[in-house]
Structure 1
Amino acid sequence: MNDAHQVTTSKVNFKSPKVKKQLRVGLAMFIGPIGWLSAYSGVSATLLPAKIGQLIPAHKVATIALFSTVAMIVATIANIVAGAFSDITRSKHGKRTPWIVTNSILSAILLFAFSMANSVPVLLGIWAVYQITLNAIIAPMVAQIADRISPNLRGTVSSFYGVGYAIGNFGSGIIASRFISHVSTGIIVFAFFTLFGCLLSAWLVQEPSNMDSPKKPFNKQTIKENFMFPTANSRDYYLAVGGKFLMMVGQFIIVGYQLYIFTDYMKLNPSQTATSVAIMSTILLVTGILLTALTGPISDHVHRVKFPVAFATILLGVGALFPVFTPSPWTMYAYALISGIGMGAYNAVDQALNIAVLPNPDSAAKDLGFINVAVTVGMIVGPLISGGLISLWGYRIIFPVETLICLIGGIMIMMIKKVK
């Protein structure tokens, strides 16, 4: 029996061996996103734009949009397929660990190759393959919360994941800002983050063998159950997917172009830009960690996950309004403060909400894979939208567009019915 079904009472005995085992999984969920997300976020938000700016400065905005389009297509397919195959994997190391270990190694190798590439076509090819291995880490990793964590601990463990997510997402900006003039070195550093962080996460989980689990025949019914979009009992599920997608689009409308916002919209020199990116990332990191650490346990105590997620999504949009008024660095710091609070609250309970709306626990990784697609594709679509808007109307327009998108996302979350 999975650990997720072994601790179900409202009061948790943290000295219980079963609870300690689940908290060990929580520690793995903390380390895991630091590994994969720090690399993805640090490279995509800062080092990739810097590298492209060095290679083809006259076409950098359009080129980032091209990279985002290719990544979106590849990531959408890879996340779903990897999650579905991990659901039906049988091995002595369980169904998630083989995927996480193998693709962590491949991701690190690809990032190393990416650091050495010096032409846009080669960079684009490596970036596309990297999206495959990256998403083959994400889908199985997140599914471990559904596999191993009982309902009354999911808010707490989700906050573990959320703190790791905040460190990976925002802490990467602090690190990447130090390598704007040494891009290849920075990418190699992030390759080691992926390798060690994800491998350590997989080891901590200590996923048991599932060789005795019934093997599903690979036929039409298996394909329908494990590879297709869920259709039954899925209204709330799709509202959660839609809300998450819009939140990620809104966030990465700014984050995906933050380097160019400082250099082209605010007219900062390279030294000022590096300092500003570091300050912004530090604000996001500190607020994100504090709010994530506080919100998860509170959510478990009051049994509420929907409102914090919806409120946080809207708050992210509110923060985006500041840079509209003046192209000054302080407006991006204000955005970082408000959106960091929102993202912290969001990350703390987001995974608990996702698991609560799953249509079928037996296809958890596949269905969570679709939600993860909302994350990955949102990260990619955001810069794609920014690229189009900037080319047509300049940088100022992207900020109110983020506000509108996040508002709609928050409303969709509030429309979920079966979760408080």
Structure 2
Amino acid sequence: MTDVRPPHQIVAVDGEPASRPRVGRLLALLLPATAAMYALFNGISAVILPVQVEAVDPASKVGNLALLTTLAAVASMVAIPAGGAISDRTRSRFGRRTPWIAAAAVVSAVACILMGLADNLPGLIATTVILWFAANFYSGAITAILPDRIPEDRRGVASAVIGMGTPIGIVVGVQVASRAGQLTAYAVIALVLLVTTALLLFGAKEGSARDLPAPVRNRGRAGVPFRSFFAAFTVRDFRLAFLSRFLLFASYFVVNGYLFYTLQDHIGTGNVPGGDVAAAVSTLLTLSIVVWVLAANVAGWIADKVDRRKLFVGVSALGVAASMTIPLAMPTWTGMLVYAACLGASIGTYFAIDLAVMSLVLPDAGSEGRDLGILQVATGLPQLLAGAVGGAVISWFGGYPALFVFGSLCAVASGVLMLRIRCIR
């Protein structure tokens, strides 16, 4: 059920329209909560879980990690829309989102601790599915705060502020995961999620939802709304944008999802500083994120000045492809450092302009939220499927070099598709 109030009459806790200071405080508290969520996803998937999987069965680590990430993907694909849809229909004195955000944070924290204690494959499977479902349910509910409580004239700034949660969360999560022991890392990640969630929910309280109109039940034919929901795919440029985005993120997440094992088995544990693979992963991701943020700030400004957004996004995708050839030509620690810096510059440029490009291919002004949400699937789905796809590529096509070839080809295809879009420059 969509909130029927006009966007500039968003109600605050006291029943009055939300003021700008309230929005500022909400954004200031949303950023750390969002960063904590991404710290959980990336710290666990990039560092802690691969170590646990290897400890359980070293000989089957690639296949087992692929199994776990596939199951996590299934749980996530159900949880993300469920978090938004169920909270949409909630009518409590604490609001629509707050009860579910709080519950999901608590379940996620408990699941983190249980996952840290798991020492066999069935235990890892159960706790991974529970954690990924709860954390993605949290994601679906917390993301809905943006249209609920941010006026339209401030949503651009809000998106930029909240978007910074991704790189911050990656850096924090990977640093914690690589510097602390297994159970300690899980406990710290759980505690940070609980604390930042509590600060958000108590520091920027949501108004009561009891007076909102009751959720409307759809009594029409099921097939008609289903087809209309995906009507944007009938437009050529929208399809190209979706496919381009899907392939770019498939390239990025499939390769990075196996970064730990790539360093361990392709580069060699003895060839990374101190023989510490977890610390090496942290170093590479941190380097990549720092360059990412710097490139994003510069590229966005230049693209606006020259009005060539499509060109910048297409070329940045080709830059990702070129970056992934570096570990093939230089399978050394130095080569991986160069790869991380070049990848960060390319993906940072892409992120700086991608959302602007996506907003320009939306075919229906009355359904922009829906269609942007569909384009977000092209970001989330590759991330969820990355483990299974990467495991298949490694197993079927000759190991880790094939992973970089796969990533490079996907990025090239992404760039070519982006450059074929007609409605933007």
Shorter-chain TM-score bucket reads 0.7 to 0.9
> Which residue matches 2:101?
100
Distance 2:366 2:125 in 1: 36
> Which residue matches 1:40?
41
Q: Which one is further off, 151-160 or 117-126?
A: 151-160
Distance 1:153 1:409 in 2: 31
- Could you tell me whether the CA contact under 8 Å between 1:143 and 1:368 is conserved in 2? no
Q: Which one is further off, 347-356 or 85-94?
A: 347-356
1:158 Cα offset (Å): 2.4
After superposition, the Cα gap between the structure-2 partners of 1:97 and 1:411, relative to the gap in structure 1 and judged at 3 Å, is farther
Q: Which one is further off, 195-204 or 345-354?
A: 345-354
Q: Which one is further off, 295-304 or 334-343?
A: 295-304
> Which residue matches 1:253?
254
In the alignment, structure 2 segments of 5+ residues that lack a partner are 11-17
Deviations 1:28-63 (A, max 9, x none): 442232111111111111110001111100100111
- Could you tell me whether the CA contact under 8 Å between 1:174 and 1:281 is conserved in 2? no
Deviations 1:209-264 (A, max 9, x none): 34333222334349789988823345466655444433332112222111111110
| 2:402 pairs with 1:397 | yes
After superposition, the Cα gap between the structure-2 partners of 1:295 and 1:226, relative to the gap in structure 1 and judged at 3 Å, is farther
After superposition, the Cα gap between the structure-2 partners of 1:199 and 1:289, relative to the gap in structure 1 and judged at 3 Å, is farther
After superposition, the Cα gap between the structure-2 partners of 1:24 and 1:368, relative to the gap in structure 1 and judged at 3 Å, is farther
Distance 1:155 1:300 in 2: 15
The TM-score normalised by the length of structure 2 is: 0.81
Distance 1:177 1:103 in 2: 25
> Which residue matches 1:183?
182
> Which residue matches 1:218?
217
- Could you tell me whether the CA contact under 8 Å between 1:81 and 1:227 is conserved in 2? no
The TM-score normalised by the length of structure 1 is: 0.82
- Could you tell me whether the CA contact under 8 Å between 1:155 and 1:296 is conserved in 2? no
> Which residue matches 2:319?
315
> Which residue matches 1:193?
192
1:138 Cα offset (Å): 1.5
| 2:280 pairs with 1:276 | yes
| 2:337 pairs with 1:333 | yes
After superposition, the Cα gap between the structure-2 partners of 1:174 and 1:213, relative to the gap in structure 1 and judged at 3 Å, is same
> Which residue matches 1:14?
none
Deviations 1:147-199 (A, max 9, x none): 444555444332222222101123322222223xx322222222223222334
> Which residue matches 2:230?
231
Distance 2:149 2:65 in 1: 38
After superposition, the Cα gap between the structure-2 partners of 1:201 and 1:416, relative to the gap in structure 1 and judged at 3 Å, is farther
Distance 2:363 2:277 in 1: 42
Deviations 1:288-325 (A, max 9, x none): 33344566788889998766655544433332221111
1:265 Cα offset (Å): 0.3
- Could you tell me whether the CA contact under 8 Å between 1:242 and 1:409 is conserved in 2? yes
The letter of the residue matching 1:325 is A
SS at match of 1:123: helix
| 2:82 pairs with 1:77 | no
Distance 2:249 2:341 in 1: 17
After superposition, the Cα gap between the structure-2 partners of 1:387 and 1:28, relative to the gap in structure 1 and judged at 3 Å, is same
1:410 Cα offset (Å): 4.0
Distance 1:207 1:390 in 2: 47
Distance 2:394 2:109 in 1: 32
- Could you tell me whether the CA contact under 8 Å between 1:115 and 1:184 is conserved in 2? yes
Q: Which one is further off, 72-81 or 154-163?
A: 154-163
Distance 1:306 1:95 in 2: 38
Distance 1:85 1:237 in 2: 28
Q: Which one is further off, 147-156 or 319-328?
A: 147-156
| 2:290 pairs with 1:286 | yes
> Which residue matches 1:388?
392
SS at match of 1:39: helix
SS at match of 2:164: helix
After superposition, the Cα gap between the structure-2 partners of 1:102 and 1:162, relative to the gap in structure 1 and judged at 3 Å, is same
After superposition, the Cα gap between the structure-2 partners of 1:34 and 1:185, relative to the gap in structure 1 and judged at 3 Å, is same
Deviations 1:48-106 (A, max 9, x none): 00011111001001111111211122211221222222333333343333332221111
Distance 1:310 1:40 in 2: 28
> Which residue matches 1:54?
55
| 2:132 pairs with 1:131 | yes
> Which residue matches 2:175?
174
Q: RMSD between aligned alpha carbons?
A: 3.6
> Which residue matches 1:207?
206
1:359 Cα offset (Å): 6.0
Distance 1:91 1:367 in 2: 29
- Could you tell me whether the CA contact under 8 Å between 2:255 and 2:404 is conserved in 1? yes
Distance 1:358 1:396 in 2: 40
After superposition, the Cα gap between the structure-2 partners of 1:380 and 1:168, relative to the gap in structure 1 and judged at 3 Å, is same
Q: Which one is further off, 304-313 or 194-203?
A: 304-313
1:405 Cα offset (Å): 1.3
1:330 Cα offset (Å): 1.8
* Structure having greater relative contact order (Cα 8 Å, sep ≥ 6): 1
After superposition, the Cα gap between the structure-2 partners of 1:121 and 1:338, relative to the gap in structure 1 and judged at 3 Å, is same
